[in-house]
Amino acid sequence: MDVFEAIKGRRSVREFESTPVKEKDLEKILDAARWAPSAGHCQPLELVVVKDQAQKERLARAALGQTFIAEAPVAIVVCANVARTSRRYGRRGEELYCIQDTAAATQNIHLAAYALGYATCWVGAFDEDAVAGVIKAPAGVRPVAIIPLGRPAEKPSPPQRMPLNKIEDEF
């Protein structure tokens, strides 16, 4: 699939079929995350794959009741190992670079999943401490996104985007 087709075609999906995610596809999707750029090549990315139904339900509660997380066959919790970046970049690495790095990995997950016929949704609204507790994250590993993953059971319309001339500026 052409990258521009994936960028323009993927949607945030909140209804999933119960069809399992093929292990070889899941591995490709996770590997795409691993190839995202990273400040100073610090690679703060940590991925937690959740398939257990009870654990997905706890994630949904920690995500302010977003029940569609538990309805997807898989939920991927994207985390930042803050120390990997802060050792090199100090406070800026801790507060910005590790977040940028994991955001790039999150986007790769969405695009790779779409290219393989799966649907995702970027979930950022959650109680960070509660999610860390659900996945038993060690100290210094910060959850930054939850991505439910599965075959789509809906096909949302494309959202409106601001015209390019409204977001391209010369300062």
Place of tokens 């990995």: 105
Per-residue pLDDT of 15-74, as tens digits, reads 999 999 999 999 999 999 999 999 999 999 999 999 999 999 999 999 999 999 999 999
Res 169: pLDDT: 81
* Lateral strand order in the sheet of 74-81: 45-50, 74-81, 141-150, 119-120
Asked if 103 and 95 count as a contact pair (C-beta separation under 8 A), the reply is no
**Domains of the chain in sequence order:** 3-152 (3.40.109.10)
Distance CA 134, CA 63 (A): 11
Nearest Cα residue to 11 out of 153, 144, 163, 127: 153
Res 168: pLDDT: 87
Distance CA 42, CA 104 (A): 13
Q: In degrees rounded to 5, what are phi and psi of residue 18?
A: -85, 0
Distance CA 105, CA 79 (A): 10
Distance CA 66, CA 167 (A): 31
CA 106, chain centre distance (Å)? 4
Per-residue pLDDT of 118-166, as tens digits, reads 999 999 999 999 999 999 999 999 999 999 999 999 999 999 999 999 9
Asked if 127 and 64 count as a contact pair (C-beta separation under 8 A), the reply is yes
